[in-house]
Structure 1
Amino acid sequence: MTSIFRTVMGSDFDRLHPQLRRRFSVGLTSGEACTGHGVMDRIWHGRGFVKPFLALGGTRNILVPRAGRDVPFTIENVPYTDGFGRETVTFVRTFDLPGGPRRFDAQMVLGPRGDRVLDYLGTHQHLASDLHFSAEADGSLLIRSGEHRFREGPVDLRVPELLGGQAEVRESFDDTTGRFRIRVRVVNRRFGPLFGYEGSFRATYADVRTSGVRAGLRPVREEARA
């Protein structure tokens, strides 16, 4: 077995910078978890009408309802087996904003056909998105989101493009500073930029078989539907 990210990228995974290959090799096979500590140079929002939606999402740790500069943050990537027997990797980001920390939670699993990663968002996994991974010529990683779906009880709806946002994540490694750099943009095709952040961090690794998954890192409710 191998990490869910190497599986979905295939030979493209080997084109990544060596530090990115290690970071995205976290999983049950490697037995490693990765924690990043750094600073977001900027967390930004789009036009004013997006703020109520960001505030609503913030109640379930989806997106970040406040903007800021030079914001300390932590990202925790910890592998575990979820309640449906799937290997899962946490992408839990905690932003130390004035007035109290804010979290942006995601849990990633391999799609049923092994050709995509499923990104379940929030404390209750109400939102799910397809993620597509590719290596850039400079060894950086590009992640683009695909279709979004909303799940609550019997409700299972595709989110129309008019309401949803397309996410683009770029992650690279700076050999000069020894830091990972990350830039995230969420854009609506009609209304333009909605939300994003950019910054840098250093990563440390731990044996997940020893450290385990800390309390509060897993979601309150897990979603089985892909």
Structure 2
Amino acid sequence: MTSIFRTAMGDAAFGRLHPELRRRFSVGLDSGELCVGRGVMDRIWHGRGPVGPLIRPFLALGGTRNILLPRTGRNIPFTIENVPYRDSYGRETVTFVRTFQLPDGPRRFDATMVHSPDRGCVLDYLGTHQHLASELRLTAEPDGSLLIRSGEHRFREGPLDLRVPDLAGADAEVRETFDEDTGRFRFRIRVRVVNRYVGPLFGYEGSFTASYASVQECGIRPGLRPVREEARA
């Protein structure tokens, strides 16, 4: 048994990642490790121009379920908690809970990830109730960085299982690197979310250091798991 990320990428591609990225994305029940990153977002941005007023209501609505970020800012302290556990359906799951210490109070952007054998990818459930599911494709870049691109998005509630249309959806690109050239020895992350019709919607970029601990000793803290879990993968 390997981590859900290694399973999705395959051994060869996973092996091309920088060693520090390999450790971070080996977090899982097999490794027995959890990872907590602490750092600063250099900036959190929203789309400008005509798109700005259009997306603000959607960002605000998403913020009520810990999806998306309804605020912008610079030099924002944040944490990211990657903790593996088995969900109610017996699947290995890894949390990606990001907490941003914005001037008006902390904001969370929650995700929980599982491997989908049928789709051959990591499935990213967004928010506190897992109503939105996004396919994620992970690739190792020539410099050892990790590139994650989103695929199909689906809305799931009760019997509903609907593909989110392109007009309402967005393509996410996440790039994570490990910076050792400057002697800082930090992870760097850049997230960019774009609608193919109206352009850039929001994103953030910054850096953080990571610490590891035993899942068995620490467990998963209260409030980290989603309120509702979706059975479909």
TM bucket normalised to smaller:
over 0.9
What secondary structure does 2:102 align onto?
Answer: coil
Give the number of equivalent residue pairs.
Answer: 226
CA deviation map 1:113-148 (0-9, x unaligned): 372000000000010000000000000000000000
CA deviation map 1:34-91 (0-9, x unaligned): 0000000000011221000000000000011100000000000000000000000000
CA deviation map 1:155-179 (0-9, x unaligned): 2110001110100000000012110
List aligned pairs for 1:74-89, cutoff 5 A.
74-89=79-94
List aligned pairs for 1:3-18, cutoff 5 A.
3-10=3-10, 11-18=12-19
Asked whether the equivalents of residues 8 and 114 of structure 1 are also in contact (C-alpha less than 8 Å), the reply is no
Q: Distance in 1 between matches of 2:161 and 2:119?
A: 22
Structure 1 gap ranges (5+): none
Aligned sequence identity (%): 76
Consecutive aligned runs of 4 or more in structure 1 exceeding 4 Å deviation: none
1:112 correspondence with 2:117:
yes
What secondary structure does 1:101 align onto?
Answer: strand
Q: Distance in 1 between matches of 2:215 and 2:109?
A: 22
Residue in 1 aligned with 2:229? 222
Residue in 1 aligned with 2:43? 42
Residue in 2 aligned with 1:208? 215
Q: Distance in 2 between matches of 1:188 and 1:64?
A: 16
1:19 is displaced (CA, Å) by 0.2
List aligned pairs for 1:140-151, cutoff 5 A.
140-151=145-156
Q: Distance in 2 between matches of 1:177 and 1:19?
A: 13
Asked whether the equivalents of residues 132 and 146 of structure 1 are also in contact (C-alpha less than 8 Å), the reply is yes
Residue in 1 aligned with 2:67? 62
Asked whether the equivalents of residues 95 and 102 of structure 1 are also in contact (C-alpha less than 8 Å), the reply is yes
Letter in 1 for 2:215: V
1:17 is displaced (CA, Å) by 0.3
Q: Distance in 2 between matches of 1:48 and 1:114?
A: 36
Quick check: 121-130 or 107-116, which moved more?
Answer: 107-116
Letter in 1 for 2:5: F
Name the CA shift for 1:140/1:169 in 2 (closer, same or farther; >3 Å): same
CA deviation map 1:6-49 (0-9, x unaligned): 11111100000000000000000000000000000000011221
> What TM-score results when the alignment is normalised by the length of structure 2?
0.96
Quick check: 106-115 or 207-216, which moved more?
Answer: 106-115
